[in-house]
């Protein structure tokens, strides 16, 4: 019998009249469960509960908020194998990646448990005699969270943990494809001691549940991660709503990895292989543009291709798998369409790009490497979000930097070089929110800011202590003491 998963509103499990089947992309015969497909009525109830819970939670003792987050962290850590398996089963990243992501969620919760006790302000002298100024931070109110499918537990964790740490209440809508991981995280947080109504889960469609969250006048702020198109619509809705909503968007990337002639070839190939293809290339920080100088180009392409040929593409839960399936048929079609577009544009499909059959039916795609790409081609400009990367040959460092920066995105950017001069120059001149030297563009720490520039991000950074910029609002209080 298929397991049913309900929404969680005002401290209660709330069943829905409609549900969506969650299908394992590694084995489409495997139905993980039926997950509630929420409605506007569910969102209204969730926002009302979050609004009612806000006064007490926002003024609660930080020790209490610390203890809830710490307890939740401990449970996530204790159950990381189980949570990782749940995640990999619904999303398709390998079990090692799934367990790694669950671990990261636990680390994030522990970090923000500490942050509850560190929230501080400033005392400033006024220019007026006898007046004191105090600058403090306060919780915002009810935060609406809309999350994507590619990091099913880490992204909900890195939005929920700071929101709750700083005293906000929440309505979260996870992506339709991966609700199980968010369901587990919400359950763990609620059982760790959150008062009723502080954290509400409404699963379902973006066009229904997401839209109802956006439209609700009692939602103070929206934190969104997803595509640029949806992000733009969300930002527009936030500024035209009354009252206006604070908004934070994390969107796509078209991240460059520059490989210079003086790079350590093994390091460069490791960075490219990991950055472009691990997690099936379904990371907003994936290295999809490999910008390689002439002297190392052929050696780099040959070595990378050899490594790609050895990659094991198979069931995410099978031991030995290095690349899991694509998340669903829609994304698989996007990937295959871009492979066709790349060929039609004149890029050379150097290796891969074939559909693969495995023991069970799933959305398996051989990682694909294009060569002879230009930076003007659509495959170099548009985010594909699959295991597809293109090599752009350049003359020298200056051209590499110019090509790297010639993009509508600016999330992550990498360089492989043994030259201190070029590494330093690149760090300073790369127009991206995150720069990696001799490291893959994907793979970041949890205690430092995450975010980008241009079309990649909008609003304050996520993660680390910088998360307070979005999840709190500043108050400047003047007092005349006589």
Q: What is the Cα–Cα distance from 240 to 349, expressed in whole angstroms? A: 45
Q: Which of 147, 200, 380, 413 binds ligand ADP (CB under 6 A)?
A: 147
What's the angle, vertex CA 172, arms to CA 211 and CA 363, rounded to 5?
85
C-beta of 132: minimal distance to ligand ADP in Å? 44
Task: Name the token pair of 409.
Answer: 């995105």
User: Of 75, 101, 176, 250, which residue is the catalytic one?
Assistant: 250
Binding span for ligand ADP by CB under 6 A among 68-76, 168-176, 265-273, 463-471: 168-176
| DSSP letter (8 states) at residue 61 | -
Tell me the number of residues near ligand ADP by CB under 6 A: 16
Cα(429)–Cα(420) distance, rounded to whole angstroms?
Answer: 14
Q: Which one, 214 or 303, has the nearer CB to ligand ADP?
A: 214
Which range touches ligand ADP (CB under 6 A), out of 172-180, 392-400, 402-410, 431-439? 172-180
> Which neighbouring-strand residues pair with 138?
473
Catalytic one of 238, 284, 373, 416: 284
Nearer of residues 152 and 464 to ligand ADP, judged by Cβ: 152
Please identify, using beta-carbon distances, which residue of 210 and 342 lies nearer to ligand ADP.
210
Of 217-236, binders to ligand ADP (CB under 6 A) are: 226-227, 230, 233
Q: Which stretch binds ligand ADP (CB under 6 A): 39-47, 68-76, 204-212, 471-479?
A: 204-212
Q: How far is the CB of 233 from ligand ADP (least distance, A)?
A: 6
Residue matched to tokens 């969650």? 22
Q: Which is closer to ligand ADP, CB of 330 or CB of 346?
A: 330
* Residue 73 or 225 with smaller CB distance to ligand ADP: 225
Positions 313 through 352 that interact with ligand ADP (CB under 6 A): none
Cα angle at 304 between 303 and 310, to 5 degrees?
A: 95
CA distance 440 to 437: 8
The phi and psi torsions of 26 (rounded to 5 degrees) equal -85, -20
DSSP structure string for 17-43:
S-EEEEE-TT-TT-EEEEEE---HHHH
- HSE on the CB side for 418, CA within 13 Å? 7
Tell me whether residue 250 is one of the annotated catalytic residues.
yes
Rg (CA), the chain: 23
Residue 207 touches ligand ADP, criterion: CB under 6 A = yes
Among positions 75, 115, 176, 336, the unique one binding ligand ADP when judged by CB under 6 A: 176
Shortest distance, CB of residue 230 to ligand ADP, whole angstroms? 3
Q: Does 148 bind ligand ADP (CB under 6 A)?
A: yes
SS3 420: helix
Q: Using alpha carbons only, give the angle 51, 55, 56 rounded to the nearest 5 degrees.
A: 115
* Cα–Cα distance list, 286 to 42, 65, 183, 433 (Å): 36, 35, 27, 14
> In this structure, what token pair is assigned to residue 1?
């019998």
Candidate list 5, 149, 364, 450; residue touching ligand ADP; CB under 6 A: 149
Toward ligand ADP, which CB reaches closer, 149 or 166? 149
Q: What is the smallest separation between the CB atom of 200 and ligand ADP, expressed in angstroms? A: 15
Distances (CA, A) of 329 to 28, 43, 91, 253, 373: 11, 29, 12, 22, 27
In the complex, least distance from residue 222 CB atom to ligand ADP, rounded to whole angstroms: 9
- Shorter beta-carbon distance to ligand ADP: residue 26 or 230: 230
Residue whose CB is less far from ligand ADP, 90 or 314: 90
211 near ligand ADP, judged by CB under 6 A: yes
25 forms part of the interface with ligand ADP (CB under 6 A): no
Query: Which is nearest to 422 in space by CA: 393, 397, 405?
Result: 397
Stretch that binds ligand ADP, among 4-12, 151-159, 205-213, 316-324 (CB under 6 A): 205-213
Residues in Cβ contact with 194 at an 8 Å cutoff, skipping those fewer than 6 apart: 68, 164
Beta-strand relationship, 368-373 and 348-351: antiparallel
In the residue annotation, 284 being an active-site residue is answered as yes
Q: Per CB under 6 A, does 175 bind ligand ADP?
A: yes
Least Å from the CB of residue 210 to ligand ADP: 2
Which of 223, 80, 234, 244 shows the shortest CA–CA distance to 155? 223
Residues near ligand ADP (CB under 6 A)? 146-149, 173, 175-176, 206-207, 210-211, 214, 226-227, 230, 233
Residues with catalytic roles: 250, 284
């Amino acid at each position: 019998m298929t397991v049913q998963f309900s929404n969680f509103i005002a401290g209660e499990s709330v069943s829905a009249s409609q549900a969506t089947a969650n299908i394992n992309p590694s084995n489409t015969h495997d139905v993980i469960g039926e997950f509630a497909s929420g409605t506007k009525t569910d969102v209204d109830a969730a926002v009302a509960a979050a609004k009612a819970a806000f006064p007490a939670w926002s003024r609660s003792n930080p020790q209490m908020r610390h203890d809830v987050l710490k307890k939740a962290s401990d449970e996530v850590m204790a159950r990381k194998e189980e949570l990782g398996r749940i995640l990999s089963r619904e999303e398709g990243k390998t079990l090692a990646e799934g367990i790694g992501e669950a671990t990261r969620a636990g680390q994030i919760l522990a970090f923000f448990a500490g942050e509850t006790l560190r929230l501080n302000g400033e005392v400033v002298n006024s220019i007026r005699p006898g007046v004191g100024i105090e600058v403090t931070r306060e919780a915002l109110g009810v935060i609406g969270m809309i999350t994507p499918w590619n990091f099913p537990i880490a992204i909900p964790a890195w939005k929920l943990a700071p929101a709750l740490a700083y005293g906000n209440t929440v309505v979260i809508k996870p992506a339709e494809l991966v609700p199980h991981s968010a369901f587990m995280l919400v359950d763990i947080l609620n059982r760790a001691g959150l008062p009723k109504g502080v954290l509400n889960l409404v699963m379902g469609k973006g066009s229904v549940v997401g839209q109802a969250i956006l439209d609700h006048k009692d939602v103070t702020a929206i934190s969104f991660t997803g595509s640029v198109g949806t992000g733009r619509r969300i930002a527009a809705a936030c500024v035209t709503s009354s009252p206006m909503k604070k908004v934070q968007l994390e969107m796509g990337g078209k991240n460059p990895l520059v490989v210079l002639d003086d790079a350590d070839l093994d390091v460069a190939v490791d960075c490219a292989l990991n950055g472009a293809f691990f997690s099936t290339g379904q990371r907003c920080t994936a290295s999809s543009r490999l910008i390689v100088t002439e002297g190392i180009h052929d050696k780099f392409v040959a070595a990378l291709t050899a490594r790609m040929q050895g990659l094991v593409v198979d069931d995410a839960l099978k031991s030995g798998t290095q690349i899991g399936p694509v998340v669903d048929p829609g994304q698989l079609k996007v990937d295959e369409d871009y492979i066709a577009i790349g060929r039609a544009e004149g890029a050379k499909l150097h290796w891969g790009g074939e559909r693969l059959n495995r023991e069970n039916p799933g959305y398996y795609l051989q990682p694909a490497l294009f060569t002879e790409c230009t930076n003007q081609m659509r495959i170099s400009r548009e985010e594909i979000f699959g295991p597809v990367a293109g090599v752009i040959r350049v003359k020298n460092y200056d051209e590499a930097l110019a090509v790297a920066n010639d993009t509508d995105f600016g999330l992550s950017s990498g360089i492989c070089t043994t030259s201190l001069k070029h590494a330093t120059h690149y760090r300073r001149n790369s127009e991206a929110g995150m720069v990696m030297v001799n490291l893959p563009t994907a793979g970041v720490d949890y205690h430092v800011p995450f975010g980008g520039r241009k079309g990649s991000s909008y609003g304050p950074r996520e993660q680390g202590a910088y998360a307070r910029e979005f999840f709190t609002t500043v108050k400047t209080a003047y007092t005349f003491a006589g």
